[in-house]
Copies of this chain bind each other. A is one copy, B any other.
Amino acid sequence: MRENRKVDEIRPVKIETDFVKHPEGSVLITVGDTKVICSATIESKVPSFLKGEGKGWVTAEYSMLPRATESRNIREAAKGKLGGRTQEIQRLIGRSLRSMVNLKKLGERTIWLDCDVIQADGGTRTASITGAFVSMVLALNKLVEEKELSELPVEGYLAAISVGIVNDEIMLDLDGKEDFQADTDMNVAGTDKGEFVEIQGTGENHPFSKNEMEKMLSYAEKGMHALMEVQSQALSEIYPPPAKKG
């Protein structure tokens, strides 16, 4: 049982576009007390392994300010290397976003998605995916406006949410305190067509059953649908609303 919201309800979400002035696409996404600046940069070249293949690439970087968290975390730049958690998250964000872009239509360009958490209260990686999607569409739209692309090379909406089992209760969109208590923790990224692009579930403290798995996925679908409504408003002038899933 939760105090202020139902177990299958997400926290209040806000997406402010053009939060920072320099990037081609930029948002501040707020999910409860979690705040992430997502910026999209479009570069006119691709990594060496893709050169000459006539298609583009999408990649992500993720970082936390030292005091995004309750106690100060040491900067990875000061340590001189990226930690395992950061790399795991960066790869998750990158794969998720890449799945929604038609890389051939994008052409030989790289989209960099920078997700910088300025305040953390659970769900930073899923907020990053949800916000990065909006910043990416904003940036791609600039290319359309500048006639560099004839249409948005995007294949639908993408949002992500966490779900978990806390004290034997399945809950959607865990905040920091719930996340700390959770026995099972799952991050789900999906499309407006009701399909999944990433599922990462871990029951390190408590293995989970097939039934729990199914219920978690149902909650996640509900949460992603609600997030897409907010994304849709932020993109209302440039991208049609998400498909209605039957």
Give me the interface of A with B, judged by CB distance under 8 Å.
Answer: 20-23, 26, 33, 35, 37, 39, 41, 43, 61, 63, 65-70, 72, 75-88, 90-91, 95, 98-99, 112, 114, 116, 118-120, 186, 190-191, 193-205, 207-210, 213-214, 217
The DSSP consensus for interface residues of chain A is: mixed
Query: Which residues of chain B come closer than 8 Å to A81, judged between CB atoms?
Result: 77, 80-81
Query: Which residues of chain B come closer than 8 Å to A77, judged between CB atoms?
Result: 63, 75-77, 79, 81-82, 86
Known contacts A81-B80, A87-B87, A201 near B198 by CB under 8 Å? yes
Let me know if A200 and B197 touch, CB within 8 A.
no
Chain B nearest Cβ from A60, distance in angstroms: 11
Known contacts A66-B114, A67-B20, A195-B207, A84 near B78 by CB under 8 Å? no
What's the Cα separation between A107 and B10 when bound, in Å? 39
Let me know if A88 and B82 touch, CB within 8 A.
no
Residue from B23, B99, B191, B203 in contact with A195 in the complex, judged by beta carbons closer than 8 Å: B203
Let me know if B207 and A201 touch, CB within 8 A.
no
A90 (CB) vs chain B CBs: closest residue: B84
Let me know if A72 and B88 touch, CB within 8 A.
no
Chain B nearest Cβ from A148, distance in angstroms: 17
Let me know if B205 and A99 touch, CB within 8 A.
yes
Query: Which residues of chain B come closer than 8 Å to A21, judged between CB atoms?
Result: 33, 119
Let me know if B84 and A72 touch, CB within 8 A.
no
* In the A-B complex, the 7 residue pairs with the closest CB atoms: A195-B207, A84-B87, A76-B77, A23-B67, A39-B67, A77-B77, A199-B201
What's the Cα separation between A92 and B240 when bound, in Å? 38
Chain B nearest Cβ from A67, distance in angstroms: 4
What's the Cα separation between A217 and B209 when bound, in Å? 11
Let me know if A67 and B99 touch, CB within 8 A.
no
